[in-house]
Structure 1
Amino acid sequence: MKKEEKIRLGISIGDLNGIGSEVVLKTFEDSRMLDFCTPVIFASVKILSFLKKHYKSNTNLHGIDKTSQILDGKINVLNVWKESVSINFGQEDEKVGSYAIKSLVAATKALKNDDIDILVTAPINKHSIQSEEFKFPGHTDYLDQELNGNSLMFMITDDLKVGLLTDHVAVKDIAETITPELIEQKISTIHNALRQDFGISKPKIAVLGINPHSGDNGVIGKEDEEVLKPTIQKINDSGKLVYGPYAADSFFGSNNYKAFDAVVASYHDQGLIPFKTLSFGKGVNYTAGLHKVRTSPDHGTAFEIAGKNQADNSSFKEAVFAALKIFKNRNEYNELTKNPLKKQPRKPQNKAGREQKL
């Protein structure tokens, strides 16, 4: 029997002045991780060797210059650049931010070309990445453009899944951003993700109100009565199990969320504050709505502890396992629905990374 090809896990390195490289190195210090996947870190073997020494990590790195040299059983580091980079832990630095984007762009290209199967992104600093070439608020918007998707920020654990109608939108703009079309699109994305990526055949979805107490029948804002409620009813009439709006202030504290497969929050903090309170360190940020799988840890660059060897890699490791599981679930779903998206077998390579002639 032919040995099954391992899933290729691409990793964008994030902000080198933050904790991203630390949690990546710590995750793959455990050699058993190579039983599950073949990691490909998009960065520079020179800079990661420096960081490995700084953190006293025993992670073995395998430097490569092109994706055809990727080897199973190795922690591959694809050299996106070879020049030296000045690291100042905990500092916001546009130059360092530019290397985070070089890594992301290279990893995304490899994902589009099927040189890697899934992508896990280490944290970036949203301010230092801005430039004339990159004007996105974060990973999600960039990947949405590059992968032609309808992306949705979906925060997940085994027991709690929270999606957002609006993510990086200023509070003053939330109400006017939420339209019936947006609600239908986001809930459709969540419904499809729950079915194909998490194996839930008939998902139940709760929707939180836009205003305090879901508007109190129009006393505290009209959006819940005029926009949210009729749209939820329309979606429910179509056969999806979608309920709400529920008052957000008591929904999580009363454990109501446990009766649903996913919760839809109207805006960023409404969903992420309870999610991170209940699951910090175990949560994963999953970008639903793309034809490729991307996850990330549920934390940022943590400049305050960067370089101190204090970072907890639990969330990054969870992001790796979530991406692997979603990839397998999605392939099984596509096979069952007669639309297989199986991994195409790659041309065999010798140890030098060159294609063997058959």
Structure 2
Amino acid sequence: MSEKLKIGISVGDINGIGLEVIIKSLMDSRILDFFTPIVYGNTKVASFHRKAIGINDFSFNVINSADQANAKRPNMINCWQEDVKLSLGEQTEIGGKYAFISLQRAAEDLKNGLIDALVTAPINKHNIQQEGFNFPGHTEYLQDLFAAEDVLMFMVSEDLRVGVVTGHIPVKDVSQAITEESILKKLHMMNQSLRTDFWIDKPKIAVLGLNPHAGDDGLIGSEDQDIIIPAIAKANEEGVFCFGPYPADGFFAADTYKKFDAVLAMYHDQGLIPFKHIASRTGINFTAGLPVVRTSPDHGTGYDIAGKNLASHTSFLEAIFEAVHIVNRRREQAELTANPLAFRRLSKDRD
């Protein structure tokens, strides 16, 4: 039997719900049959959260490095030794400082091949800003760290997959950022990810319009006709099976998304609002386009419920298992590609 995957977990903002959902996700020992968890944090901080939510029968195995991980226990690397003042539910400089220490250590281990994937608990995009982290979020930080030319914020659930052309930018800048080139790049990345990471041989992708009613034949803005439609046509010429542009409101209201393997939205809220409603706490965020695997839950720091034992860990657990599945799919795909005969047999079985 091959060695279990090592899944690294960063703790996010230590004043939020990150450690609560981490602890709840790792409490069931049966999950250790599938992967070895390594949390990058601090045992004193973890104990504070554990006691705050009234959990007594759980502890971490403390290690100094990922290669010391016990495959039969949830593991924790103490990324700092000093005592830290916690202020649950509050946005503080301390919360951002230690969120970055955790993320930085985990990401470096991922880069060095000491862990097989990274699952990130939520950060606060304001208080984490500091020397070494001047990015809108995890996605951009990891893109820079791994020198990826481009990445795709890919929201994934059992019923729906949504990617966005523009991510964490102001709405007033969206229109300028929508270009034929940017749409084409995201379509190719989405298509490749669907094939490699989700094993969909011939993905069918829907593309949303930018303006109300997808521009209404140019009556409400020209971007849909002048930019999006030509991009879709070119993508099809280049082997990406895509359709649109669809007006976003009717597309989701009429359940049209169920006819496609994925949806490319033009901007953040256009895609994420319907996604989070439809996924209903089971969705996850996957950063496609990286040479490594990173996932996260589809929620934020949850300051309003931090320390109250109210946070659902469903999305976080889904993020962990999706990371495991994607790593395994990528590895099996690489093995099959190296063995063309086996790859052809598998392709016939899929068809």
TM-score normalised by the shorter chain: which range applies? Answer: over 0.9
1: CA distance between counterparts of 2:125 and 2:61?
30
Q: Normalising by the residue count of structure 1, what TM-score does the alignment of the two structures yield?
A: 0.92
How many Å apart are 1:133 and its aligned residue? Answer: 2.8
Contact 1:90 1:305 in 2 (8 A): yes
Name the structure 2 match of 1:17. 15
Task: In structure 1, give the amino acid aligned to 2:20.
Answer: E
Task: In structure 1, give the amino acid aligned to 2:66.
Answer: T
Contact 1:305 1:311 in 2 (8 A): yes
Name the structure 1 match of 2:33. 35
1:195-274 equivalent positions in 2, closer than 5 A: 195-274=195-274
How many Å apart are 1:339 and its aligned residue? Answer: 8.6
Task: In structure 1, give the amino acid aligned to 2:318.
Answer: E
1:129-168 equivalent positions in 2, closer than 5 A: 129-149=128-148, 150-168=150-168
Contact 2:93 2:127 in 1 (8 A): yes
How many Å apart are 1:59 and its aligned residue? Answer: 2.0
Provide the secondary structure at the position in 1 that maps to 2:84. Answer: coil
Task: In structure 2, give the amino acid aligned to 1:202.
Answer: K
Cα distance per residue 1:15-70 (max 9 Å; x no partner)? 01100000000011101111111000001122212322222322221111222322
Closer/same/farther in 2, CA of residues 339 and 91 from structure 1, 3 Å limit: farther
Name the structure 2 match of 1:64. 63
2: CA distance between counterparts of 1:178 and 1:307?
41
Cα distance per residue 1:143-172 (max 9 Å; x no partner)? 001112221110001221000001111111
Name the structure 1 match of 2:86. 87
1: CA distance between counterparts of 2:67 and 2:268?
40
2: CA distance between counterparts of 1:201 and 1:133?
39
2: CA distance between counterparts of 1:53 and 1:95?
20
Task: In structure 2, give the amino acid aligned to 1:329.
Answer: R
How many Å apart are 1:180 and its aligned residue? Answer: 1.3
How many Å apart are 1:132 and its aligned residue? Answer: 3.1
2: CA distance between counterparts of 1:320 and 1:68?
19
Name the structure 2 match of 1:115. 114
Task: In structure 2, give the amino acid aligned to 1:237.
Answer: E
Task: In structure 1, give the amino acid aligned to 2:61.
Answer: H
2: CA distance between counterparts of 1:309 and 1:165?
36
Contact 2:188 2:240 in 1 (8 A): no
Cα distance per residue 1:62-116 (max 9 Å; x no partner)? 1112223222111110011011111111100012211000000000000001100
- Higher helix content, 1 or 2: 2
2: CA distance between counterparts of 1:255 and 1:31?
38
2: CA distance between counterparts of 1:67 and 1:333?
26
How many Å apart are 1:179 and its aligned residue? Answer: 1.1
1: CA distance between counterparts of 2:339 and 2:224?
38
Contact 1:111 1:119 in 2 (8 A): yes
Name the structure 1 match of 2:307. 307
Gap regions ≥5 residues in structure 2: 341-351
Name the structure 2 match of 1:100. 99
Cα distance per residue 1:230-282 (max 9 Å; x no partner)? 11101112222111100111001101101100000000110001001111210
Aligned residues: 338
Counting aligned pairs with the same residue, the percent is 51
Cα distance per residue 1:276-299 (max 9 Å; x no partner)? 111121000011111111000010
Task: In structure 2, give the amino acid aligned to 1:218.
Answer: G
Contact 1:236 1:242 in 2 (8 A): yes
Cα distance per residue 1:192-213 (max 9 Å; x no partner)? 0000000000000000001111
| Higher mean C-alpha displacement, 231-240 vs 300-309 | 231-240
Q: Normalising by the residue count of structure 2, what TM-score does the alignment of the two structures yield?
A: 0.94
1: CA distance between counterparts of 2:103 and 2:233?
40
| Higher mean C-alpha displacement, 267-276 vs 49-58 | 49-58
